[in-house]
Amino acid sequence: MARPTDLHLIHCSYHKCLTVYYGRIMRALFNRLLSWSAGYRHYNSHLEQFCDGFRDDRLSSVNNRALDLERLGRFRISRFIRDPRDLVVSGYFYHRRGAEPWVTRESPTADDWYFANGVVPEGMRASGVSFAHYLQSLPEEEGLMAELEFRRLHLESMARWPAGHPEVVTWRYEEIVGNETAVFRELFAFYELSAVERALGTWLAGRYSIGRRAGDPHIRNPASGQWREHFTPRLRRAFESAHPGLVKQLGYPSD
């Protein structure tokens, strides 16, 4: 079935939820192999830029945001989600080692982190240090508390997505890892891509799969349920106080 030109294909995910993996596939597919197409563009968390530009893209993606569906016209949205407690743990270890330049910037402001929709933790605002240095200076529990604060807007956005919308399909990180080719085959069918596009995209999903990316600096530990090892009773209380009912809303077990 041909895809109507006014149907917007959009992907929404979260930092440390396969965003690099998804982007590698889509840039290879639409910006290199199918370079004559309108192309793929990732907007990070720049919501205004996304709203201004997504209509000109073949496929767009935006992270850490809940979209106003009324503003999108005709759309199909794919979403990747992950247990939000694992997002906190994964983000903490990733940011602590200074894996990207923005986490090594000293004295960051809200504007500096707007691209990631991140909250500057209160404890580091007057310290003059970078996020990576701040996390390195703290015991693990305090560092995870700071990461939870950084993630506040991300997790709030997870709660604002409507349930059961026919043009929004959600895949869980826990279902994707180890099953990438099958999931992306479903994803491309949902997008109603051509047979050639689907075949190329599925091949790329296998080529870039996590199992074949040993040593990739973006991947620390893809296992699920890591929060059980790292969440102290205090951190569990803080998470539930800040985001009551989110775990249940997303369908994850409470323990």
Mind listing the pLDDT tens digit for each residue in 183-201? 999 999 999 999 999 999 9
- Compute the distance between CA of residue 101 and CA of residue 112 in angstroms, rounded to an integer: 12
Instruction: Point out which residues pair with 8 in neighbouring strands.
Output: 75
pTM, 2 dp: 0.92
Query: Would you tell me which CATH number, out of the four given (3.40.350.10, 3.40.50.11540, 3.40.50.300, 3.60.9.10), belongs to the domain 7-82+163-212?
Result: 3.40.50.300
Mean pLDDT over all residues of the chain?
A: 93
pLDDT of residue 37: 67
pLDDT at 60 > cutoff 90:
yes
Using the predicted structure, report yes or no on whether residue 218 has a pLDDT greater than 60: no
- Would you say residue 20 has pLDDT above 60? yes
Is 70 exceeded by the pLDDT of residue 36? no
38 pLDDT band (50/70/90 cuts)?
Answer: confident
Distances (CA, A) of 129 to 13, 102, 138, 249: 29, 12, 13, 36
Domain boundaries, the chain: 7-82+163-212, 84-155+223-249
Rounded Cα–Cα distance for residues 16 and 85 (Å): 12
- Asked if 254 contacts 247 with a C-beta cutoff of 8 angstroms, the reply is yes
d(CA 132, CA 147): 11
Q: What percentage of the chain has pLDDT greater than the value 90?
A: 87
